[in-house]
Amino acid sequence: MSIQLKINGKTRSIDVDPTMPLLWAIRDYIGLTGTKYGCGIAQCGACTVYLQGTPVRSCSIPASAAENIEITTIEGLSENNSHPIQQAWIIEQVPQCGYSNRDKFWRLLRC
104 CB-near residues (< 8 Å, 6+ apart): 45, 94
Nearer Cβ to ligand FES (3/47): 47
Per DSSP, the three-state class of 21 is strand
As measured in angstroms, the least distance from the Cβ of 42 to ligand FES is 5
Strands (E) in 18-99, as ranges, are: 48-51, 54-57, 70-72
- Point out the residue whose Cβ comes nearest to ligand FES: 59
Nearer Cβ to ligand FES (29/37): 37
Residue 76 near residue 9, CB atoms below 8 Å: yes
Nearer Cβ to ligand FES (7/26): 26
As measured in angstroms, the least distance from the Cβ of 86 to ligand FES is 21
